[in-house]
Structure 1
Amino acid sequence: MCWHQGIKRIARTPNARGATSCEQEVELAPGAETTPEQLMNAENSVIRRNKRKRNMVSCREYYCYKLQIREDDRSMLLHIGRLLQHYVVDMYVKIESTRLDFYRLNDNQTRLRTELYQSLIDSLSQGESSSSNIGTRIILPGSFIGGPRDMRRRYMDAMSLVQRYGKPDIFLTMTCNRNWPEIKNLLLRTDKIENRPDLVSRVFRAKLEQLKNEIFKKNIFGKVAAYTYVIEFQKRGLPHAHFLIILKQGSKMYSPEAYDRIVCAELPDINEHEYLHSLVVKHMMHGPCGTMNPTCVCMRLHIGCKDRYPKQFCESTIHTTNSYPLYRRRNNKKKVKIRGHYLDNRWVVPYCPYLLAKFNCHMNVEICSTIQAVKYIYKYIYKGHDRVLYQLSDIETNNNVDKIKNYVTARWVSPPEAMWRIFGFDLNQIHPSVMTLQVHLENKQPVTFPEKSSLHSVMKNKALQKTMLTEFFSMNKYDNHAKNLNCMYAQFPEYFKWNQQSKIWEQRK
């Protein structure tokens, strides 16, 4: 059975005691004594009555339900081998294609145009009266998760954290371990790990939540002021997460001794830390590359290893100029055999011993507070999806660029990513939340208008002239509370909230 339009959602039945306190609709008699809880319940009931609910099952919700793990499941859908990989990728491609078709076929996408307000004035002065001859079409807006506009917006939001809280202190990368016991213990004898992308996605998300608990609640690195992370998927399928963490002022690290308490780049003593030694050998050894293995994936023509391995020996951690610290890598003659070659401390990827021992996976931890130019780090984690091919064409291009086609071309979807998207797990997160403020020159704000509308009617619409910036100036001119605050535009949302429908700033309560 496949999803089709019109599948109705089954309403949840109340429990044995009836509806919970938050589900009860309280009728308040005039003049009667009420508790704060009753007032809250009454307000919530009004919100629920006014809120439009969807009573149909979406395509993603349907396949999310079908792909759940159940003890008495007789469908065997999760145990069909490589066909499951093909199935989940096809289903997610169908979901994403449906969303893209909505943006392509939606009437607003073909009838709306955008242009600068000053350009409308210039067009009107030149005798142009029809709005269908100017502007560029809206193809793929920032509301599409994972699109180019969405990734650029999230990158700018992350950079605003640097402006407010300073440079990031820790760059952490966590990669899924396909041999986690939580995955292997749930496999049947006929199953293979690569054929269970549902287990890989679920277990990695559980480990990710556990890692967030260690960093942000237990504060193993110190108190965190802000952070952002992005989930990515390798071409071979395994998911990994990139964290950028900004510590509070009292927890920041300034000395090499503080770095050594968090990051290690040496082989542990096998006699004292046998388990940790085995994990470092298994997960944290680079290569080998260079003359030992010229065909390694990290090798670049005329450059060598892109990660600059092997590193140099160093008796103690030292600062470097606009780069990661030079971690302690002592020449203690310790070597391990990796892929037929003996490697020493110069090949160890920096790691945190506590996190590596706890999560048993590749866990690269770097101190990035010494880097002056931090933009490339944020651009790296918000670079977007992998692409695997390109096409050269001599066909003459027109002025209308099909951004949906550009996004779909060479799109690479792996089975774990398909499962991750079907389950609706978060692809990225930022804390604290960032509000995007409009910035433009006078009469240079972008204006959206119907294609067939008259330019005279567009110019007479005063709401099109209003933006966050113009109303900020108006508030500081007419509102007494805004005048007394005497704050900058970036701090204004801390005291006022923007009403998108009315296009006015309202005081926060």
Structure 2
Amino acid sequence: MRRRYMDAMALVRRYGKPDIFLTMTCNPNWDEIRQELYPGQTPQDRPDLVVRVFRAKLEELKNKLLKKDILGKVRAYVYVVEFQKRGLPHAHFLLIMEGRYKLTCPEQYDRLISAELPNKKKYPELYKLVVKHMMHGPCGALNLNPECPCTKGRPSCKNHYPRPFHAATLQDNRWVVPYNPHLLRYFNCHINVEACGSIKAVKYLFKYIYKGHDRASIVVSEADKNGDIDEIKQYRDARWVTPPKALWRIYGFELSKNSPPVKQLQLHLPNMHMVSFQAAQNIERVVNHEGVEKSMLTEYFEANRLHEDARSILYRDFPEWYTWQKSQNNKYWRKRVRDTGGQIGRIVSAHPAEGERYYLRVLLNHVTGATSYEDLRTVNGEILPTFREAAERRGLIEGDNTLDESLTESTLYEMPSSLRWLFATILVFCEPSDVRGLWEKHLDAMSEDYRRSNPSKVAAEQLVLIDIRNMLQSMG
């Protein structure tokens, strides 16, 4: 999941923030499900039928969005399939639109998204669908339903309903969840369509990276031969796998996908690349095998040496213009037949505590045309002994500015726990001059997971401080 999240962020880096967030939830009362039930059965009795119909609907939604351009031309997308506690599947889509189809003003929002009850006399069918599928609550904000999950234990609805009425498009109207009228009528299910305001929606898609899998506490009543019950063994903390989720995996349906595809680019110091082999293979033969010394990075250097037009392309952008070819005896980058757009690249992450590997990554993200490691370390005709010195000489790392940039970049790619570890590492190894400035600027990102489950900002901040203190102690 972490790799998929970073792939999604690579698309954001390349094409900009998502424009549309769309969620489709399975409707167990779809005709395609009801018509296939045996007498006396309910949809809950047929998880196989539920997931197969939902998957068919999902494929039709993808056809509407990506081929028929119902919301406009899509440049890049990512989606994930999740399962509610009661078992029903739902899919979250993030769409990055092509330039002319990007949503930039309220007038454009209104062409695709509605957040109001339609005229009951003029559009009776659409009115019924909105009331049935697209109403939130009523929840407990006005003591209408204090037991509603979105309000339970909170002074108001966590989703900010009911929202104030507005004659013009500013935000959603009262209890209505934003929707697209055409998609709602076509699919007859809860299908939420919203305009994205930031890249935080990407983290929402992959929230299970730090939230963890769905879990449940269950009670197992079991007595020994004397009739005694061990109350400690009664309780089990277990992962929650519902029948539809199990069937989805058994059928081998996709849980997530992004397009264009993202290529992970290897990052390693000289002669320290990974070589895969089977346990039964002779190590000496593996080491002496033809082409074993080649990697994506070494062949990037070779491509720069052989092809003049490659020398203006950064390593991270190389997959857009060249394809990685790998056979049993050879590895190399081959120029694409089409100019661009086939694949996006991203260099695997490196931590400042890794030293030279981290500074190698800094250089690769800024320097084009290098034909060797020595070439990367060469500045103004002088071969410097380390990648760090080369990065300093090029002005790529300068005190706290570099540390701030490192934390800012990591905020896009990493989860809060990783950011806290990075902050602790910076305190130990990098000697920042303005610790408070770094702390205040990146606190929100470092506390995001704690704030999800703790409404108190002060309490979340204290939990972050405790985490960092423990990390510092483990480093000492």
**TM-score over 0.5 for the alignment?**
yes
- Specify which structure has the bigger relative contact order, considering alpha-carbon pairs within 8 angstroms and separated by 6 or more residues: 1
| RMSD over aligned Cα atoms | 3.2
**Structure 1 residues 214, 452: closer, same or farther in 2, change over 3 A?**
closer
Give the whole-Å Cα distance in 1 for the aligned partners of 2:120 and 2:77. 35
**Structure 1 residues 389, 456: closer, same or farther in 2, change over 3 A?**
farther
1:480 aligns with 2:330: no
CA drift at 1:306:
1.7
Query: In the alignment, which residue of structure 1 is the partner of 2:207?
Result: 380
Amino acid at match of 2:179: Y
Contact 2:25 2:90 in 1 (8 A): yes
Query: Pick from 318, 324, 331: which aligns with 1:504?
Result: 331
CA drift at 1:465:
5.8
Give the whole-Å Cα distance in 2 for the aligned partners of 1:347 and 1:273. 19
**Structure 1 residues 482, 357: closer, same or farther in 2, change over 3 A?**
same
Contact 2:32 2:53 in 1 (8 A): yes
CA drift at 1:424:
2.0
**Structure 1 residues 287, 458: closer, same or farther in 2, change over 3 A?**
same
Query: Pick from 161, 165, 183: which aligns with 2:15?
Result: 165
Of Structure 1 and Structure 2, the greater helix share is in 2
* Structure 2 residues without counterparts, runs of 5 or longer: 219-235, 338-476
User: Secondary structure of the residue that 1:232 maps to in structure 2?
Assistant: strand
**Structure 1 residues 305, 490: closer, same or farther in 2, change over 3 A?**
same
1:295 aligns with 2:123: no
Query: In the alignment, which residue of structure 1 is the partner of 2:89?
Result: 239
User: Secondary structure of the residue that 1:204 maps to in structure 2?
Assistant: helix
Contact 1:263 1:350 in 2 (8 A): yes
Contact 1:158 1:378 in 2 (8 A): no
1:491 aligns with 2:343: no
Contact 1:168 1:246 in 2 (8 A): yes
Give deviations 1:361-387, integer Å, cap 9, x for gaps. 00111100x225454234338766422
CA drift at 1:360:
0.7
Query: Pick from 241, 260, 276: which aligns with 1:413?
Result: 241
Query: Pick from 40, 55, 62: which aligns with 1:190?
Result: 40
Which deviates more from structure 2 when the two are superposed, residues 174-183 or residues 430-439? 430-439
- The normalised TM-score by structure 2 is 0.60
Query: In the alignment, which residue of structure 2 is the partner of 1:124?
Result: none
Give the whole-Å Cα distance in 1 for the aligned partners of 2:327 and 2:155. 51
Query: In the alignment, which residue of structure 1 is the partner of 2:254?
Result: 426
Give the whole-Å Cα distance in 2 for the aligned partners of 1:281 and 1:377. 26
Q: Which of the two has higher C-alpha Rg?
A: 1
Give deviations 1:377-428, integer Å, cap 9, x for gaps. 34338766422249xxxxxxxxxxxxxxxxx983322111222222222222
Query: In the alignment, which residue of structure 1 is the partner of 2:365?
Result: none
Within-5 A mapping of 1:16-165: 151-165=1-15
Give the whole-Å Cα distance in 1 for the aligned partners of 2:74 and 2:11. 12
Query: In the alignment, which residue of structure 1 is the partner of 2:127?
Result: 277
Contact 1:170 1:245 in 2 (8 A): yes
Give deviations 1:182-210, integer Å, cap 9, x for gaps. 11111121222110111111111111111
Amino acid at match of 1:386: D
User: Secondary structure of the residue that 2:96 maps to in structure 1?
Assistant: strand
Query: In the alignment, which residue of structure 2 is the partner of 1:226?
Result: 76
Query: In the alignment, which residue of structure 1 is the partner of 2:157?
Result: 305
Give the whole-Å Cα distance in 2 for the aligned partners of 1:375 and 1:212. 19
Give deviations 1:312-358, integer Å, cap 9, x for gaps. 2222113xxxxxxx23x3xxxxxxxxxxxxxxxx1111111111111
Contact 1:159 1:378 in 2 (8 A): no
Amino acid at match of 1:414: T
1:259 aligns with 2:109: yes
User: Secondary structure of the residue that 2:76 maps to in structure 1?
Assistant: strand
Query: In the alignment, which residue of structure 1 is the partner of 2:187?
Result: 359
**Structure 1 residues 507, 409: closer, same or farther in 2, change over 3 A?**
farther
CA drift at 1:498:
3.7
CA drift at 1:280:
1.1
Query: In the alignment, which residue of structure 2 is the partner of 1:371?
Result: 198
Amino acid at match of 2:317: Q
Give the whole-Å Cα distance in 2 for the aligned partners of 1:259 and 1:426. 30
User: Secondary structure of the residue that 1:307 maps to in structure 2?
Assistant: coil
- The normalised TM-score by structure 1 is 0.56
Contact 1:468 1:503 in 2 (8 A): no
Which deviates more from structure 2 when the two are superposed, residues 416-425 or residues 498-507? 498-507
Contact 2:8 2:202 in 1 (8 A): no
Give the whole-Å Cα distance in 2 for the aligned partners of 1:365 and 1:381. 22
Give the whole-Å Cα distance in 2 for the aligned partners of 1:464 and 1:278. 64
Give the whole-Å Cα distance in 2 for the aligned partners of 1:302 and 1:425. 37
CA drift at 1:491:
2.5
Give deviations 1:5-52, integer Å, cap 9, x for gaps. xxxxxxxxxxxxxxxxxxxxxxxxxxxxxxxxxxxxxxxxxxxxxxxx
Query: In the alignment, which residue of structure 2 is the partner of 1:125?
Result: none
Give the whole-Å Cα distance in 1 for the aligned partners of 2:144 and 2:217. 30
**Structure 1 residues 373, 206: closer, same or farther in 2, change over 3 A?**
closer
**Structure 1 residues 293, 464: closer, same or farther in 2, change over 3 A?**
farther
**Structure 1 residues 455, 499: closer, same or farther in 2, change over 3 A?**
closer
Contact 2:80 2:256 in 1 (8 A): yes
Percent sequence identity over matched residues?
Answer: 51
